[in-house]
Amino acid sequence: MPLVDIKDVRKSFGPVEVLRGVSVDVERGDVVAIIGKSGSGKSTLLRCINRLETYDEGSIVVDGMNVGDARKEKKLRDLRRNVGMVFQQFNLFPHLTAAENVMLAPKVVNKANNHEAKLLAEETLAKVGLSDKANNYPSQLSGGQQQRVAIARALAMRPNVLLCDEITSALDPELVNEVLRVVEQLAREGITLILVTHEMRFARDVGTKLVFMHLGKVHEVGPPKELFAAPRTAELQQFIGSVH
Amino acid sequence: MNDFSFWVILSNLLLATRWTIALSLVAFVCGGIVGLALLFARTSGIGWLTLATKAYIEFFQGTPLLIQLFLFFFGVALLGVEVSPWIAASLALTFWTSAFLTEIWRGCVESIPKGQWEASESLAFNYIEQMRYVILPQAFRIAIAPTVGFSVQVIKGTALASIIGFVDLTKAGTMLNNATFRPFLVYSLVALIYFCLCFPLSWYAHRLERQLHAAR
């Protein structure tokens, strides 16, 4: 059984149907790269997986738990403990230091004590290469560093799946690689990743599965290297051509 | 008739000022507590709760404070409970203050970027935890200056309590005027004392505001 099983999901914002029957399955350890033009529904799909967005029809099952059923607070909490998320705009808590940002959710949600939370912060900040910035506030960090703290913050909840929503799109070009290297490292460690991304080279080299979305549907899906080398549809071919 | 010296008038006014300060403090502190509870209800996103809070706020913002004082003073008496002016004034001013503070604070909460809500939501926080650990600590900073500024309105609002017989600074002024027939002197002193209470607060609120803008 797939770790994340998305079946025929539909979603409308008012009269606009943004997801028109999307099905994707994600196995444990997969690195799924979702690509496509803006407005193709990639971010909405990603946000449906941890119920930041609700969907109208179809089903999403994460690790045996039906996302559509997670209406009650306890179930929703279990789901979100299981699914980490990193955002385009980092969304770090500006009133807390890097370490405190990482420690907050384990303490508040998982009732970790201060000592346990500190160890978690040390471990995850070391993983993203920011041990020396633990006591800095977000405003004292570069964009790339902030995004790495955001990754550490998500990892501290030990999620089974990590969702990444265009996490390098708001970064200056020279800061993109430091973030991608961290994600690549996570992929090598076997964390299941679902990324909405515009980094085509990264999608090809690190991804185990490529999902090309077009007009609210999965237009093409398959092994990244194959699809990039030989796109089956004109739309993917055009899209690859336009971003290179 | 005029054996009331200046100092007798002033000392009597100052003694009554204690009650103005006491009523202001009660209204501001209790109004703040009620206002915080209402803030949670107002921003909870739960339909009926939001609606009930809105109705409450509209009522207290949309009717004169004087009428609210009358309603509490005479209305509660209709239920067969005798209320003193002190209790009626405390209740009315508390609810009135809470309505305004809730609206001021709601504005501060809503100025926190949506990403802060989404980030804490995706870390499995519930609504109360989001408010407690993420939103309010940030909103608090923005809220200090307008909150201190509003405390000036509370102090001035307490003057109306004199009409239902609460012996505060204004009521003492009226009584002294009746005894001395020196209205200009008496009310000038009353105004001066109110000003001495309010000015430091509004000055402090302005300073806080400047600091906040400088820190950005």
Contact B112, B139 (CB under 8 A): yes
Contact A231, A237 (CB under 8 A): yes
Contacts of A46 in chain B (CB under 8 A): none
Identify the band that residue B109 occupies on the pLDDT scale cut at 50, 70 and 90: very high
Quick one: fold of A4-92+161-243? Rossmann fold (3.40.50)
* Mean pLDDT value across residues B12-16: 94
Contact check, Cβ <8 Å, B138/A73: no
Q: Which two tokens mark B67?
A: 């009428």
| Helices and strands (H, E) in chain B, number of each type | 10, 0
Q: How far is the C-alpha of B146 from the C-alpha of B109, rounded, in Å?
A: 13
* Mean pLDDT value across residues B141-159: 94
Question: How many CB atoms sit inside 10 A of residue A38's CB?
Answer: 9
- In B, minimum Cα distance to A155 occurs at B123
3-state secondary structure of A165: strand
Per residue in B21-58, pLDDT (tens digit) is 999 999 999 999 999 999 999 998 889 999 999 999 99
3-state secondary structure of A58: strand
pLDDT the model gives residue A176: 95
Q: Is the pLDDT of residue B213 over 90?
A: no
Q: Which two tokens mark B26?
A: 């009660």
Cross-chain CB nearest to A73 (options B126, B134, B138):
B126
Contact check, Cβ <8 Å, B125/A108: yes
Q: Which of A76, A78, A80 should be substituted to probe chain B, the one whose Cβ sees the most B Cβ atoms within 10 Å? A: A80
Q: How far is the C-alpha of A36 from the C-alpha of A7, rounded, in Å?
A: 19
pLDDT the model gives residue B216: 53
Q: Is the pLDDT of residue B1 over 50?
A: no
Measuring CA to CA, how many Å separate B124 from each of A28, A124, B43, B146? 22, 18, 18, 32
pLDDT the model gives residue B3: 59
CA distance A50 to chain B (A): 7
pLDDT the model gives residue B212: 78
Cross-chain CB nearest to B122 (options A85, A93, A108):
A85
Q: Is the pLDDT of residue B215 over 70?
A: no
Contact check, Cβ <8 Å, B134/A87: no
Contact check, Cβ <8 Å, A153/B123: yes
Identify the band that residue B81 occupies on the pLDDT scale cut at 50, 70 and 90: confident
Q: How far is the C-alpha of B176 from the C-alpha of B7, rounded, in Å?
A: 12
Question: How many CB atoms sit inside 10 A of residue B18's CB?
Answer: 11
Positive/negative CA dihedral, A42, A43, A49, A55: negative
Q: Which of B199, B133, B197, B183 is nearest to A93 (CA)?
A: B133
- Which residues does chain A have with pLDDT short of 50? none
Contact B38, B51 (CB under 8 A): no
In this prediction the ipTM stands at 0.93
Containing A84, the helix (H) or strand (E) segment is strand A83-86
3-state secondary structure of B98: helix
Q: Is the pLDDT of residue B2 over 70?
A: no
* Mean pLDDT value across residues B99-124: 97
Q: How far is the C-alpha of A92 from the C-alpha of B208, rounded, in Å?
A: 25
Q: Is the pLDDT of residue B146 over 80?
A: yes
Contact check, Cβ <8 Å, B125/A50: no
CA torsion, points B9, B14, B18, B21, in degrees to nearest 10?
A: 110
Domains of chain B: 6-211 (1.10.3720.10)
Contact check, Cβ <8 Å, A80/B123: yes
3-state secondary structure of A92: coil
CA distance B43 to chain A (A): 17
Contact B113, B67 (CB under 8 A): no
| Helices and strands (H, E) in chain A, number of each type | 9, 10
Q: Which of A110, A180, A177, A175 is nearest to A151 (CA)?
A: A180
Cross-chain CB nearest to A52 (options B122, B125, B134):
B122
